[in-house]
Amino acid sequence: MAGMYRSRVSGIGSYLPEKILSNKDLEKMVETNDQWIVERTGIERRHIASEDQATSDLCVIAAKRALEDANLKVEDIDMILVGTVTGDHQMPSTACFVQAKLGAKNIMAVDLNAACSGFLYGVSIADQFIRTGMYKNILVIGAEVLSRYMNYKDRETCILFGDGAGAWVMSRAAEGQTNVIESSHLRADGTLADLLILPSGGSKIPQSHEAIDKGLNFMTMKGRDIFKNAVRTMASCCQEALEHNKVAPEQVDWIVPHQANKRIIEAVADQFKFPMERVIVYLQETGNTSAASIPLAFDWAVKNGKIKRGQTILLTAFGAGLTSGSILLRY
Answer whether 96's CB lies under 8 Å from 108's CB: no
Task: Please name which of 182, 183, 187 lies closest in space to residue 230, comparing C-alpha atoms.
Answer: 187
> Of 217, 237, 238, 258, which one is the catalytic site residue?
258
Per annotation, catalytic residue among 96, 116, 237, 238: 116
Whole-Å CA distances, 135 to 6, 59, 221, 244, 292: 11, 21, 38, 26, 24
User: How many other CB atoms are found less than 10 A from the CB of residue 276?
Assistant: 12
Type of residue found at 91: M
Element (H, E) at 283: helix 283-286
Judge whether 288 counts as a catalytic residue: yes
CA distance 183 to 175: 18
Look up 237 and say whether it is catalytic. no
- Dihedral in degrees, nearest 10, Cα atoms 291, 297, 299, 303: 170
Cα atoms in the 13 Å half-sphere on the side-chain side of 86: 30
Task: Out of 137, 217, 261, 288, pick the active-site residue.
Answer: 288
As annotated, the active-site residues are 116, 258, 288
